[in-house]
Amino acid sequence: MPELFFGGARGGGKTDFLLGDFLQETYLGGAWRGILFRRTYGELEEVQNRAQQLFAPLGAVYKASDRTWRFQGGSVLKLRYLERAADAARYQGHQYTWIGWDELTNWPDDVAYKMLMACLRSAHGIKHKRIRASGNPGGAGHQWVKRRFIDPAPAGYQLLQDELSRHPRIFIPSSVRDNAILTENDPDYVERLKDVGSKELVRAWLEGDWNIIMGAFFDRWSSKMVIKPRALPSHWTRFRAFDWGSARPFSVGWWAVSDGELEGLPKNALVRYREWYGSNGNPNVGLKMDAESVARGILAKEAKDETIHYSVADPAIFAKDGGPSIGERMAREGVRFKPADNRSRVGGWDQMRQRMVGEDGVPMLYCFDTCIDSIRTIPSLQHDESRPEDLDTSAEDHAADEWRYALMSRPYLRPKAAVKADGLLQLPTLDEMWAQQQRVTVHRI
C-alpha cells in the first residue's frame, strides 16, 4: 500500500508501528532508505528513545551527529524534525523508499506532506516504496488529516483513490487494545485516562473518535447554532464582515441582527446567513484573487434589493504599500469597509464564547448550514501553546477571524439580575466588566 495512515486512540502503539514498518525491508540493504519526521526537535527525541530500544538489539548503529540509524547491510533511517512547511524545500532532490510522519496532525496543513511525496522514488527499482503516517484526533492539522484519510471512510480499512494521481491510500484505525505490551505492563493506563478530562475527551483518546475535537478553543460550539436557511425579515440590520486572503483563503460573511420576531432567534442574536470562502477546495489554500475580483464577487452574491447597513474588515487591508490599499481598490468597485475592532484578539474570542453560551441555554449566535467552511474549521481550532488565551494562528483560522470582526462590531453582554433570589447583591465578573468597557469604547468611536 503506497500510503497508509494509522491513527486514532492514544496508546495504540503508533510510533512502534512506524519503526516496525520501516524494519520490514531492511534486508534490501543500501537500496532501502527511509526518513521519519516529527514537528519539533523535542518530539524527535521521544522517537529516538524508542528507536534505541528497538534497533540497537538488531545491531543497528545510531550516529547522533546526523541523527541517522545505519543497519547491517547498508539500510539507513534518518530522523528529522520539520517545523515549517518551507523547511521541506531542503529535501528537494532527495530520494527515499520509505517516508514516515509521526503525529501527522501536528502539521497545520498538508503542504510539507505533499511536497515530500516527490521524494518517494528509487533508482534501484524498489517496488514497495511507501508513505506511513500516524496521529491522534486534535492538533492544528486535525481538519486536513480528517479530510484526507477519515471522512471518505470513517470506519477505515477501505481502499481510497486520490482524485488526481489515482494512487491508493487507506486509513487503519488504532486502538489502545492494539498495544498489547502497554496494556500488559501498565494495566491501569486506560483507567487513568478516564480521569484526565471530559467524557468527550476520554472518548477521543480511547476510541479515536475523530468527531470529538481535543483541546478545542471554542469548546462551547454547539449544533444548536447551526440552523437551516430561512427567509429573514428585510428590515433587520444586515452587515458584512471580511478577512482578506490571497495565497490563504479569504472569508466573507453576511450577518443579520435579530429583532426577536422569528421563533428560535432571540432578540439581538446574530445570524450569519451567507458565506463566501475563498478556497480552491484544498485545506487552507486560497484562490489568489485580486482585490477588485473579490469585490465584484461580493456584489454578485447579494440580492438586488438587499440593504447592507455597514461592512467591517481586517484593518490590514487599509495598509498602503507603494500604491492604493486593498481596501481602497475594493471601494472603487463599490464595496466599502471600515476597519474592524482588532485591538484585542482575546477580547474578540471572549465575545464569540459569550454569544455561544447565550442566555438560559439559548445561543445568541447562529449560522445557516450552508456556511460549510465556518462549520468545518471553527470547531476544530486549537489553543496556541505559547499563549493559551489565543488560538493557534497556524491553523485555518480565516473564518474565525471574520466572525470575530463581525461580533466586535456588535458587542454583547449577557444580562444578569442585579439581585439574587436570596436578596444578596450579585456583582459582575471581571469578564463582564471588561466586555461592558469594550461596548462603551466602541460606541465612543
Q: Rounded mean pLDDT of 410-424?
A: 63
Confidence of residue 416 (pLDDT cuts 50, 70, 90): low
Task: Encode pLDDT of 247-289 as tens digits.
Answer: 999 999 999 999 999 999 999 999 999 999 999 988 889 999 9
206, containing H or E segment? helix 199-207
Task: Encode pLDDT of 360-398 as tens digits.
Answer: 889 999 999 999 999 989 988 888 878 888 998 888 999
Ramachandran class of 274: left when φ > 0, alpha when ψ lies in -120 to 50, beta otherwise:
beta
Question: What is the predicted pLDDT for the residue at 430?
Answer: 58
Q: Rounded mean pLDDT of 211-239?
A: 88
Confidence of residue 21 (pLDDT cuts 50, 70, 90): very high
Q: Which residue has the higher pLDDT, 298 or 140?
A: 298
Confidence of residue 189 (pLDDT cuts 50, 70, 90): low
Using the CB atoms, write b or e for 270-296: b if 16+ within 10 Å: bbbbbbbbbbeeebbbbbeeebeebbb
Handedness of CA 66, 69, 70, 75 (dihedral sign): negative
Write the DSSP symbol of residue 57: G
Q: Is the pLDDT of residue 355 over 90?
A: yes
Across-strand partners of 271?
256, 366
Dihedral of the alpha carbons of 164, 170, 174, 178, in degrees to the nearest 10? -150
Taken in order of first residue, the domains within the chain and their CATH numbers are 3-207 (3.40.50.300), 223-409 (3.30.420.280)
Question: What is the predicted pLDDT for the residue at 414?
Answer: 78
Q: Is the pLDDT of residue 11 over 60?
A: no
What pTM value is reported for the model? 0.66
Q: Is the pLDDT of residue 317 over 50?
A: yes
